[in-house]
Amino acid sequence: MSFYKNKKVLVTGGAGMIGREVVDLLLEKGAKVRVSSIDDNPVLPKGVAYFQADLTDINLCHEACRDIDYVVNCIGVKGSPKMCMEKPASFFVPMLQFNTNMMQAALENKIERYVYVSSVGVYSPQEVFQEDSVWSTFPSPNDKFAGWAKRMGELQAEAYKIQYGWDKVSIVRPANVYGSFDSFDPLNSMVIPSLIRKASENDVLEVWGDGTPVRDFIHARDVARGILFAMENGITEPLNLGSGGGISIKELVDIIVNSFDKNLEVKWLTDAPAGDKKRVMDISRIQGHGFELLVPFKEGIKETIQWFENNKSIIDKRYNVFQKDNG
């Protein structure tokens, strides 16, 4: 029998890129899924219960957790390096609020298993990220506010284990995640969706930097698999989720350009900020537990491009609503 069969699972941020993949996998495994999101009328699979809520309100967190067995906390605030520099409070404050409130509500509601989705942003600048190095360092200046907010969620789990003996929290730290249901906001998307959108809409693809920085990319479906793997196996030590190898921005651009059936000129904006030179995950810990990735990078990129092309009208509608609501 599936570990998730007939279990009631709450997925916060379940309409987003990682959350939606988690939802699909849970449904395949026979779980009864409730999604919590702030979105208005998100596109969700049939049979999923939807709870629209602003989880910065702890009372709504308690309501979301009612009669739930397991919680996957995928909720987060995404943003480009530019937005991180200009609007850091828009990351730091709400992430502290909903992460703290959700874990407190889960504790008080006696949730059996809880997954906290942290971030590569918790790490300091270094070529390879190893889980146990976090607390002897500081987050990269490029991820300072979001990185510290995510660290506080991890520290909260440790505090609850010490004080209350609540050792039900699995912590996963995904690398740079991409896939369907990503944010393709033209002003505030991450590197892969940003490049895909620009490549789709232009004949000249402008790229920040010189292409040499190296990043570790992982498809959202593999992140979802890792999340459920950690929960099912009751792993409470932090786990990196990445490919374990790096790909340069130049290689990424070449894959995206070659995935479009048109002639694209690439223009490198070498005076623009490009972030840390190398960020790659050490994934030996989760591999030691028997976990392996399934989505090859080139196939994942092509799938993501296809999803964007097929859903561009919906993406643009959501973006225009966001712009109206936020001035």
Among 128-142, 286-300, 302-316, the range of highest mean pLDDT: 286-300
pLDDT digits (tens, 9 = 90+) for 136-148: 999 988 788 889 9
Cβ atoms 131, 239 nearer than 8 A: yes
| pLDDT digit string, tens, across residues 38-68 | 887 788 999 999 999 999 999 999 999 999 9
Banded pLDDT at 278 (limits 50, 70, 90): confident
Question: Where do the domains of the chain lie?
Answer: 8-325
pTM for this structure? 0.92
Q: Give the pLDDT score at 273.
A: 74
pLDDT (0 to 100) of residue 187: 63
pLDDT of residue 324: 34
Give pLDDT, residue 2: 83
Judge whether residue 327 has pLDDT over 50.
Answer: no
Is 115 strand, coil or helix?
A: strand
The 3-class SS string of 10-76 reads EEECCCCHHHHHHHHHHHHCCCEEEEEECCCCCCCCCCCEEEECCCCCHHHHHHHHCCCCEEEECCC
CB 217 within 8 A of CB 264: no
Residue 323: its pLDDT value, please? 36
Query: Which position has the token pair 């000129």?
Result: 265
| pLDDT of res. 146 | 87
Residues 6+ apart with CB under 8 A from 131: 173, 237, 238, 239, 240, 282, 285
Q: Of 204, 101, 118, 222, which Cα lies nearest the Cα of 195?
A: 204
Helix (H/G/I), strand (E/B), else coil: 127: coil
Nearest CA to 72 among 152, 218, 171?
171
pLDDT single digits (tens) 73-111: 998 776 556 666 788 888 789 999 999 999 999 999 999
Q: Where are the beta strands (DSSP E) in the chain?
A: 8-12, 32-37, 49-52, 70-73, 113-117, 128-129, 169-174, 176-178, 204-208, 214-215, 217-219, 239-241, 247-248, 265-269, 278-281
Q: What are the pLDDT digits (tens) for 246-271?
A: 999 999 999 999 999 889 999 999 98
Kindly report, residue by residue over 194-242, the tens digit of the pLDDT. 999 999 999 999 998 999 999 999 999 999 999 999 999 999 999 999 9
pLDDT of residue 313: 73
Q: What is the pLDDT of residues 157-192, one digit of tens each?
A: 999 999 999 999 999 999 999 999 988 876 667 899
pLDDT at 5 over 90: yes
CATH hierarchy code of domain 8-325: 3.40.50.720
